[in-house]
Structure 1
Amino acid sequence: MEQHQPMRRVIRMFPDYGRDYPLWENSTPTWDVGYTTTPADYGLSEELGAELGAWQAFWEEHANSSEEWDTDDNLRAWLRRGEALARRVQTEVSEFADVQIEFGPRPRRL
């Protein structure tokens, strides 16, 4: 059976323990991408992929959960960096996908 890519994909961005990258995508009946994704799945630049990995690693090092951080400064820096990275991902995938931020105070699409 041939898979047909959805008109606009939605890349979800949030961290989770044990992951290398904070990228996710829900499969559809005609587009099975799994659930966890990587920068290569979207053709992201190597530089952006490395920065996404570092952002994920920073979260694992400094957050006890999505809501508990070792310091408020680390949380603020991580949120700012995540917003900037999400905008860069959106720029690189603008032809075929939207980025949905699911970290921080409220989920939203860019």
Structure 2
Amino acid sequence: MMSELRKTIQLNPDYGSPWGLWLSHPICPPYQGAFLTPDSFLLSEDLKDRMAAWLKLWRENYANVVEEESNQWTLGFDQHAWAEEGHVIADLIEEEAPGYEVVRGFLSYL
């Protein structure tokens, strides 16, 4: 018996991807060369807003840290609370995009 291929979405903020979503076969493919967005998976506006706030925290407290301290969080930022919110977002994506499992790539920042 052949097993069905698992469909996964990678949730991983990155300097080059505005939404931190990675996948080879989204529900609604973007134009060639465009990045995936919550609309690529038909996600709700509420989830989109929650993701935007979460990604904004990453940009302000990790991605924009001065170069000498790159790959570090700003002093005093609660990265574990940020990761917990990432887990909640990942669970919500799985609820709103049935058939997909979310790989929590954001944990690499801890």
TM-score normalised by length of structure 2: 0.71
> Paired residue for 1:17, among 11, 15, 21?
15
Letter in 2 for 1:97: Y
For residues 14-45 of structure 1, the C-alpha deviation after alignment (integer angstroms, 9 at most, x for no partner) is 10125431211135xxxx76673111010100
- Deviation, 1:7, is 5.9
Letter in 2 for 1:81: E
* Percent identity of equivalent pairs: 29
Q: How does 1:12-91 map to 2 (within 5 A)?
A: 12-17=10-15, 19-27=17-25, 36-63=35-62, 64=65, 67-71=71-75, 73-91=77-95
- Which structure features the higher share of helix residues? 2
Between the aligned partners of 1:57 and 1:48, the Cα distance in structure 2 is 14
Q: Is this contact kept in 2: 1:11–1:99, CA < 8 A?
A: yes
RMSD: 2.8
Q: Which runs of 5+ in 1 are unaligned?
A: 1-5
- Deviation, 1:74, is 2.3
Q: Residue 107 of structure 2: SS of its match in structure 1?
A: coil
TM-score normalised by length of structure 1: 0.71
How many residue pairs get aligned? The number is 96
Q: Which runs of 5+ in 2 are unaligned?
A: none
